[in-house]
Structure 1
Amino acid sequence: MTEIRNPILPGFNPDPSIVRVGDDYYIATSTFEWFPGVQIHHSRDLRNWRLVKRPLERAAQLDMRGDPDSGGIWAPCLTHADGLFWLIYTDVKRRDGAWKDSHNYLVTAPSIEGPWSDPVYLNSSGFDPSLFHDEDGRKWLLNMIWDHNQTGGERFGGIVCQEYSVDEQRLVGPVHNIYRGTDHKLTEGPHLYRRDGWYYLLTAEGGTGYDHAATMARSRDLLGPYETDPAKHLLTSKDAPEAYLQRAGHADIVETQDGEHYLVHLCSRPLDETRSIETGRAKGIHADDVRRSPLGRETAIQKLVWPEGEFPRLAHGGCVPAATVEAPDLPEHRFDPEPARMTFAPGALPQPLQWLRSPEPERLFSLTERPGALRLFGREAPGSQFDHALVARRQTDLAYAAETEIDVTPGDYQQFAGLISWYGRFKFHYLAITADAEGNRLLTVYSCAADWPEAQVSYPITPIPLPASGTVRLGVDVDGASLRFRYATGEDGAWQDLGITLDQSAISDEAGNGPGNNFTGAFVGICAHDTSGRGRPADFLHFTYEPRT
């Protein structure tokens, strides 16, 4: 038996929506404040996947300047009908407090590669929208509805449904609340399927933490009433803290060419050293919020059995996700591995790299101003939600090494650039080249480990003098919950360890309890900052990311 090993999309790839078109499978996942928006991966065997497109790539489609950490693109839905791909997405402008500003849009394209249309505005009543194409040709938008007058989980007011007119490019007719969920609450993430004379409604419940679950209900009528599956949850790890895949929920279903059914879902893999308070403290992690997952919420897959007229079940039994599952009987289709070393040339950035929020990358970086280098223009400080010159890739391995070579001459302490492990405004470790008031180059470390409400930047080393000119190599080694920085000067200079170990588990969804938690994952990359507003540049000659055992 051929097996699929989970997760199939490692690192920050949550809220999967899957569609099959002929022999091709596509999964769209959330990207939150990272630009371009939405990741779409392609497979032909459900085992091997390759990133093929980020379709929201211009200002007319997406502008997230000002969006909060873990705002931006939530839970896209990718479908195919009438010769087109249909992509529904939310841009969340506010996510904290009683109110949410969550605007839902639709774009279409004749192929995954595009061209993708300008967006059609749909509504702002709630998030997690999806589009259902019924057999009679009518189209229906579903989303959870946000009730700000209630408290706690009761603010999730149910799943609403409204017809979408293709001709008028707008929602039409009444809004129907078709399902209010179960006592597990926080009902969201709807996907609708028609099968054997039933409408099956799959939802996410319990929040996106360790109580997360996927729940199914069904009705003979699209508009309800819907009866909940007697088993309640199709998928959850909430009662299995020992399971390899945790936080399982927010799922979608696809049928193969041979009539088999598979379910893709989000999950996370907590670090072993954070699975208990005692183990965490032994590793120098003193917070009580253990079970930290720097890789964020990833995408996994499970095989289903779905007898006619019945609710589906996991093929291996129970509701806890499996680490490995039986693969469908499809020809293996491998892709070339991603190169470890990225170099820079005019055109587009290497595919793994993204930046934050802005649809104007020319303000943040250039691939032409210095041939063979990526020039970052020093912009606002690391906490900026508007103009932040940071280019990074997902951490996709529990252990890795990353390196870069930088050429930068800061004028003073307001200008700094370097290598960064990043989650958000209150969670980062930053190895930076800066200068003192007289312009002497220095190497320093800025660290913000999410101990909210303090969330203060610490300075764990005494600044190290650097030569007045010349490139500097910067490196980072991550092993589970530990992070160590290193540097080298001169063409053949030996690497020098800084002699400190930082808490990489803090660069995770679960760390801290202040703004900007919960929804993304760790990145590693390069950045430049200039709080004087002069835009001092830094040139990066290459960037390398290599998994470690």
Structure 2
Amino acid sequence: MPLLTNPILPGFNPDPSICRVGDDYYIATSTFEWYPGVQIHHSRDLANWALVTRPLDRKSQLDMRGDPDSCGVWAPCLSYADGQFWLIYTDVKRKDGSFKDAHNYLVTAPSIEGPWSDPIYMNSSGFDPSLFHDDDGRKWFVNMLWDHRARPLLFAGIALQEYDHEQRKLVGPVKNIYQGTDLKLVEGPHLYKRAGKDGKPWYYLMTAEGGTGYDHAVTFARSRNIDGPYETHPEKYVVTSKDKPLNPLQRAGHGDWVETPDGRTYIVHLTGRPTTQKRRCVLGRETAIQEAEWRDDDWLWLKHGTNVPALHVDVPGTRDEDAYWAEKRYEFASGSLDKDFQWLRTPETERIFALEGGKLRLFGRESIGSWFEQALVARRQTHFSYDAETEVDFYPGDERQMAGLTAYYSRYNFFYLAVTAHSDGQRELLLMSSEMSFPDGKLRFPAEPVPIPNNHPVRLALTIRGNRLQFFYALEGEHLKPIGPVLDASILSDECGGHAEHGSFTGAFVGMAASDLNGTAKPADFSYFLYRPVRDPSDRYEV
């Protein structure tokens, strides 16, 4: 049987939390400022995964308006106990500077599709929370502790506190149970219980360390008591690429593990696949998988004999390659958006889009990159090379109204080809970019505006081949033709996200946007959206 090529969840899918219910596996991943919150994928063979739900889909559960870039939903934890699913998540309201405002919540559901409950507030002492269900019926909440006073690091260890579900709150004392290793930045805790070779139970603690950059790692520790003391794994890190800069899977860390019905053990972890000599991860932080084994010393080790993540892994299933490379043409006649699409921050979707007359109508709101209310509907970039295309029917009155096609990472990192107008009302195409080299958010204009007739829809397209991005357009009855120069697509990456290392956490998207800076919510209608993966020989580590 052929080996699976990592990652299993390509594109922006970081901080995986995995659980098994019978023969079904589920992975929850972070969504940050993208709405609805938390992605949950399903598989029955660990090779083929399908997005089944984003459970945080209403205002009572999540409202991220005003959350800065790379804030919002961090590191969910998905578990199954007492006949229902439990989902823990953080909504981060501030991350830069000495303070972090990180609020932790719990929602539950009888099935993975829902209905998911309104949230129960847990605490705000730190992020990356998880919930452990002990076999005596007690439940334990763990999260990293944030200390704004600490120097030079603000990560104060892993906190443990009991959770009482009848009272819907945390109870009893808080204990700091683990301070991590000399790699520092300990976060992402998950607790487990497993019998050792002597039949006595061990409590195991899996954490993330080293930040989210190239020193990231999965640390493992254990104790005979849930509240410690915890001893660290003999190798410290069960998964890391930090000392192997040429390994195709970099930034490996933030893991969780699961056992199959036949007793095999797998670790899922986030990873990044850098491209170009500048080592930029355009696809963001993805989810990979490694087979592991329990040895006679009661420690978990990667089965292939080193803690460096393997590109190729033996899993029960075989990936459907045809599905991975399939073109997707999205139509808008069904009355609901395809699950591939997300938008930014707001739960009040009726203010930014509607499906009317077989089209996606975007209501122009704030500027592209707004932290509050912008009309931008997009899907993840999941391949190093692809084509995208749409058709927009839009008649702006002046330069403050615009709608079109965008390749987007964050407010400071995007490319945008928009139908807009000159101050005299004459329609034109305007190519805009915002790049890391302009951290004040000022736009660049890589090409002169192109006047277009004041009637008929306009086709807009782009191609990305590795780090090369080219926009195109076509008027009615015409073939697509290029507009502007070839642009550097690699800026749509964590490494160029407008923050220092460990500060940008999402991934590249491509989609449709509309703005009306006059405040009149002028609509733009999009007929379809096309995403076509392309096999390009220059993509070394394509799945």
Pick the TM interval, shorter chain: over 0.9
Preserved contact between residue 25 and residue 44 of structure 1 (Cα < 8 Å): yes
Task: Determine the structure 1 residue equivalent to 2:191.
Answer: 192
Match of 2:410 among 421, 424, 436: 424
Preserved contact between residue 381 and residue 509 of structure 2 (Cα < 8 Å): yes
How big is the shift at 1:347? Answer: 2.6
Preserved contact between residue 106 and residue 120 of structure 2 (Cα < 8 Å): yes
How big is the shift at 1:482? Answer: 1.1
Please tell me whether residue 508 in structure 1 is matched to residue 496 in structure 2. Answer: no
Q: Deviations over 1:283-317 (max 9, x none)?
A: xxxxxxx2101100000000001125521111111
Aligned to 2:47, the other structure's residue is in SS state coil
Alignment of 1:313-324 (within 5 A): 313-324=301-312
Q: Deviations over 1:386-443 (max 9, x none)?
A: 1110000000000000000010000000000100000010000000110001100000
Aligned CA-pair RMSD: 1.5
Aligned to 2:337, the other structure's residue is in SS state coil
Aligned to 2:358, the other structure's residue is in SS state coil
Alignment of 1:249-328 (within 5 A): 249-271=253-275, 273-274=276-277, 290-328=278-316
Please tell me whether residue 485 in structure 1 is matched to residue 471 in structure 2. Answer: yes
Aligned to 2:280, the other structure's residue is in SS state coil
Please tell me whether residue 357 in structure 1 is matched to residue 345 in structure 2. Answer: yes
Structure 1 residues 406 and 512: CA distance shift in structure 2, 3 A: closer
How big is the shift at 1:517? Answer: 4.7
Match of 2:206 among 202, 205, 208: 202
Please tell me whether residue 35 in structure 1 is matched to residue 20 in structure 2. Answer: no
Preserved contact between residue 302 and residue 322 of structure 1 (Cα < 8 Å): yes
Aligned to 1:131, the other structure's residue is in SS state strand
| Matched AA of 2:399 | Y
Task: Determine the structure 2 residue equivalent to 1:279.
Answer: none
Preserved contact between residue 332 and residue 359 of structure 2 (Cα < 8 Å): yes
Alignment of 1:25-424 (within 5 A): 25-152=25-152, 154-196=153-195, 197-271=201-275, 273-274=276-277, 290-328=278-316, 340-368=328-356, 371-424=357-410
Preserved contact between residue 511 and residue 517 of structure 1 (Cα < 8 Å): no
Task: Determine the structure 2 residue equivalent to 1:287.
Answer: none
Q: Partners of 1:452 and 1:500 in 2: how far apart?
A: 19
Q: Partners of 1:263 and 1:345 in 2: how far apart?
A: 40
How big is the shift at 1:227? Answer: 0.5
Which stretch shifts more, 312-321 or 506-515? 506-515
Preserved contact between residue 410 and residue 497 of structure 2 (Cα < 8 Å): no
Aligned to 1:501, the other structure's residue is in SS state strand
How big is the shift at 1:252? Answer: 0.2
Q: How many residues align?
A: 528
Preserved contact between residue 48 and residue 335 of structure 1 (Cα < 8 Å): no
Q: Partners of 1:296 and 1:331 in 2: how far apart?
A: 24
How big is the shift at 1:334? Answer: 9.5
Q: Deviations over 1:332-362 (max 9, x none)?
A: 8999667510000253211100000000000
How big is the shift at 1:216? Answer: 0.5
Q: Partners of 1:69 and 1:396 in 2: how far apart?
A: 20
Preserved contact between residue 295 and residue 301 of structure 2 (Cα < 8 Å): no
Q: Deviations over 1:429-488 (max 9, x none)?
A: 000110001100000111011115444210111100101110100000001111100000
Aligned to 2:166, the other structure's residue is in SS state coil
Preserved contact between residue 145 and residue 160 of structure 1 (Cα < 8 Å): yes
Q: Partners of 2:327 and 2:237 in 1: how far apart?
A: 40
Please tell me whether residue 19 in structure 1 is matched to residue 19 in structure 2. Answer: yes
How big is the shift at 1:518? Answer: 1.5
Aligned to 1:67, the other structure's residue is in SS state coil
TM-score (norm 1): 0.94
Preserved contact between residue 33 and residue 73 of structure 1 (Cα < 8 Å): yes
Structure 1 residues 23 and 243: CA distance shift in structure 2, 3 A: same
Q: Partners of 1:466 and 1:333 in 2: how far apart?
A: 43
Structure 2, gaps ≥5 residues long: 196-200, 536-543
Residue identity over aligned pairs, in percent, reads 59
| Matched AA of 2:224 | R
| Matched AA of 2:210 | G
Structure 1 residues 384 and 224: CA distance shift in structure 2, 3 A: same
Task: Determine the structure 1 residue equivalent to 2:540.
Answer: none
| Matched AA of 1:299 | T
Match of 1:496 among 478, 481, 491: 481
| Matched AA of 1:110 | P
Q: Partners of 2:441 and 2:272 in 1: how far apart?
A: 24
How big is the shift at 1:151? Answer: 2.6
Preserved contact between residue 376 and residue 538 of structure 1 (Cα < 8 Å): yes
Preserved contact between residue 130 and residue 141 of structure 1 (Cα < 8 Å): yes
